[in-house]
Structure 1
């Protein structure tokens, strides 16, 4: 098993002061940072994914505008100059990017996917990673979302996150706790 950590969209717009703050973004990013440290110490690949809105999508959801502070990867999880950064314009980190080719060039067969947000770009990335033949893991404390409305009723972020993690573990990925991931208990 040769692993890579894929850090999805931990960008300023998802933090307080950004255009779409998520639930507990600092705590989520701190969990991601612990995993980044572990992977770096073990000389394993860490891939950062940065969402950049197209002109059309920015009109619908005004986040991640190219060149904006909101689109920057957050300081808590800043990539090193030697680490791979994938810029994407779609939900999945695999759509119209070189991520799959990069992982294959490194003989990666297992991915640990973390980041923001579980209901959108994280699940899309996990789904495509699974479809491309990678063994997938998602770390509970290292993903998040935000409160959302359905039929006029607010659904709490915690409930949305739990629902998506439950769905992911059915057939796409194994969901693990942060402490287990930090201790290689996958």
Structure 2
């Protein structure tokens, strides 16, 4: 079965020192890098996402409720939107940016970054701005996805739910994710399991 790895939002703002840090975010960046070093050959393709906000409306708030509204984070072209330095990006073949003008929790809301480092081969005649993650996975004949990154109870959760809905055999590698709170993380993992996502723990 052709499998893709999706690395979700391992960005400076979501790690310690960022504007919206997840506890253990930097540790997850390093752990994902180690996983890539030892297991990149297990995947047909490897993709990553970036929150990439321009004007996401009520998603940003000076008085956030940390449910539907949040402090300013991952502004397009900002330092905080960059991948965390402990994430080894050498194995990542395509970047998908999401949330320019809305919240966009799921990787499946992202579009291929116009400055993707790796050429798209046969896809070069496709307008990059129009290539969604689902388009790209199907062009590469992907049947299954494994999901890692930040945060378990928000963007990882939304990505996994959309992956199942799109028909992919979906696994979340829990040890390579971190959540905002223990309670909402466990609730998210229960929801994912009920939806048909395989929850993989070491």
Could you say which TM-score interval applies, normalised by the shorter chain? 0.7 to 0.9
Residue aligned with 2:89, SS = coil
Please, what TM-score do these two structures have when normalized by structure 2? 0.76
Change (3 A) 1:42 1:176: closer
Say whether residues 1:144 and 2:158 are aligned partners.
Answer: no
Size of the alignment, in residue pairs? 168
Gaps of 5+ in 1: 147-156, 180-186
1:29 aligns with 2:35: no
Aligned to 2:18: 18
Does the aligned pair in 1 maintain the 2:50–2:95 contact within 8 Å? Answer: yes
Return structure 1 stretches of 4+ with deviation > 4 angstroms: none
SS at match of 1:77: coil
Partner of 2:51: 51
Tell me, in whole angstroms, the C-alpha distance in 2 between the residues paired with 1:95 and 1:72.
19
Matches within 5 A, 1:97-176: 97=111, 98-146=132-180, 157-176=181-200
Normalised by the length of structure 1, the TM-score is 0.82
Distance 1:46 1:81, change over 3 A: closer
CA distance in structure 1 between the aligned counterparts of 2:162 and 2:36, rounded to whole angstroms: 22
**Native 8 Å contact 2:46 2:91 kept in 1:** no
The 8 Å contact of residues 5 and 39 in structure 1, kept in 2 or not, is answered as no
* Residue 91 of structure 1: aligned partner: 105
Q: Which deviations, in whole Å up to 9, do the C-alpha atoms of 1:92-117 show, x marking residues without a partner? A: 11125310011001111000011111
Deviation of 1:163 (Å):
2.1
**Greater CA deviation, 89-98 or 129-138?**
89-98
Q: Higher helix fraction: Structure 1 or Structure 2?
A: 1
Distance 1:172 1:77 in 2: 29
Any gaps of 5 or more consecutive residues in structure 2? 62-70, 112-131
Provide the alpha-carbon RMSD of the alignment: 1.9
Q: Is the partner of 1:10 in helix, strand or coil?
A: coil
